[in-house]
């Protein structure tokens, strides 16, 4: 009996040592790859989420035409690009409109909805004519788990209500969710569990977009809500978004250009799949024509 007990204790110690080493490795990996995003282990109330980020600057604030508001994740944010290479800069420069960018790296629909519900956007944003949400495939996984090796705080949890809209569940994360190791295994679990559950994805994503649209109508009733699907397919990543509100317009990047945006030529580098300046140089002029910006 004592032998079994000692073996159990030794194995537990080895497991804790392994987890400790893994946590340290993931921490350093995150710090190396995302130096501009907070990587300290701390509990952050969602109301302070914007303090974690260096938001993209307002582009063309001196222009007098009605502004554009950008929402989304690192694609719209301009991760890895210089300011003059980003979607926001090019949109402003070509349309002669102010562009406010509230995209957050590693985030997605939850955070966008939370920002709007809590009126956390710049009060100087007056009556934007277009609100463009840039959607990419990994945001599907982010419905269930935040980005591994990335900021884990400020990740609001919503649930689908009987009214078909998303409702906030709680506004904090327990201690065990403040470790990179948790997200490492959590992401593996959700990757396999939800990879092919498109019906469930579709229901949640449609509810999020409809909830975001409702908030937009309250705060910016004259704005047009556009979803830019950054994708080289024509089927909404396989999602069924037929239940979206009719006032929401979907634009596919592959309808704007014949180039395959998944090719390495349109990535920042071989290991970094974020859109390069070359990708935005192709997309932005066509998007402007499509929406008559």
Ordered DSSP codes for 172-234: ---GGGGSHHHHHHHHHHHHHHHTT-HHHHHHHHHHHHHHHHHHHHHH-TTPEEEEEE--SSS
Give the whole-angstrom CA distance, residue 204 versus residue 241.
Answer: 10
Short-list 232, 155, 225, 226, CA closest to 186: 155
**Shared-domain flag, residues 98 and 22:** no
Do 24 and 154 have their domain in common? no
Residues 136 and 4 in one domain: no
What was the pLDDT predicted at 171?
Answer: 53
Two tokens, residue 135:
């959607």
The pair of three-digit structure tokens given for residue 247, joined into one six-digit string: 């006032």
E strand or H helix that includes residue 168? strand 166-170
Is the distance from CB of 170 to CB of 157 less than 8 angstroms?
A: yes
Residue 49 and residue 25 share a domain: no
Query: How many domains does the chain contain in total?
Result: 2
pLDDT by residue for the chain (293 residues), tens only, comes to 777 888 888 889 898 899 889 888 887 877 776 665 544 444 455 566 666 666 778 899 999 999 999 999 999 999 889 999 999 999 999 999 999 999 988 888 988 998 899 888 888 888 999 999 999 988 887 887 665 444 445 567 788 899 989 998 765 556 666 677 877 787 777 666 656 677 778 899 999 999 999 999 999 999 999 999 998 556 667 888 999 999 999 999 988 988 888 888 899 988 888 999 999 999 999 999 999 99
Let me know whether 89 and 178 are in one domain.
yes
Are both 8 and 142 inside the same structural domain?
Answer: no
Same domain membership, residue 214 and residue 138: yes
Q: Please give the structure tokens belonging to residue 248.
A: 């929401």
What CATH number does residue 167 fall under?
A: 3.40.50.1110
The answer to whether residues 2 and 92 belong to one domain is no
Same-domain check for residues 5 and 92:
no
Domain of 6?
1-33
User: Are 164 and 256 members of one domain?
Assistant: yes
Q: Is 251 found in the same domain as 143?
A: yes
What one-character-per-residue DSSP string does 12-40 give? HHHHHHHHHHHHHHHHHHHHHH-TTS---
Strand-by-strand arrangement of the 68-72 sheet: 99-101, 68-72, 130-135, 224-229, 249-252
pLDDT at position 193: 62
Q: How far is CA 226 from the centre of its chain?
A: 15
C-alpha distances in Å from residue 281, one per residue of 43, 85, 86, 134: 39, 9, 9, 16
């Amino acid at each position: 009996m004592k032998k079994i007990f000692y073996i159990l204790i030794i194995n537990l110690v080895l497991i804790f040592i392994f987890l400790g080493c893994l946590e340290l490795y993931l921490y350093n990996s995150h710090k190396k790859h995302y130096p501009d995003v907070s990587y300290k282990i701390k509990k952050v109330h969602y109301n302070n989420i914007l303090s974690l980020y260096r938001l993209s600057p307002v582009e063309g604030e001196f222009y007098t035409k009605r502004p554009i508001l950008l929402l989304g994740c690192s694609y719209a944010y301009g991760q890895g690009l210089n300011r003059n290479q980003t979607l926001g800069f090019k949109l402003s420069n070509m349309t002669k409109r102010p562009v406010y960018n509230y995209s957050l790296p590693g985030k997605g629909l939850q955070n966008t909805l939370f920002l709007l519900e809590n009126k956390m956007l710049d009060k100087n944003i007056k009556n934007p004519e277009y609100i463009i949400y840039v959607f990419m495939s990994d945001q599907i996984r982010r419905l269930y788990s935040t980005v591994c090796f990335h900021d884990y705080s400020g990740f609001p949890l919503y649930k689908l209500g009987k009214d078909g809209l998303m409702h906030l569940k709680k506004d904090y994360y327990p201690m065990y969710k403040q470790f990179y190791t948790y997200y490492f295994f959590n992401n593996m679990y959700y990757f396999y569990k939800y990879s092919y559950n498109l019906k469930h994805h579709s229901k949640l994503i449609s509810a999020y977009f409809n909830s975001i649209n409702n908030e937009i109508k309250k705060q910016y009733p004259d704005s047009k809500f556009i979803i830019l699907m950054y994708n080289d397919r024509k089927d909404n990543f396989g999602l069924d978004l037929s239940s979206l509100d009719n006032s929401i317009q979907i634009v596919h990047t592959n309808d704007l250009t014949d180039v395959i945006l998944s090719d390495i030529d349109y990535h920042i580098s071989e290991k970094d799949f974020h859109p390069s300046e070359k990708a935005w140089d192709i997309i932005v002029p066509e998007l402007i024509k499509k929406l008559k910006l």
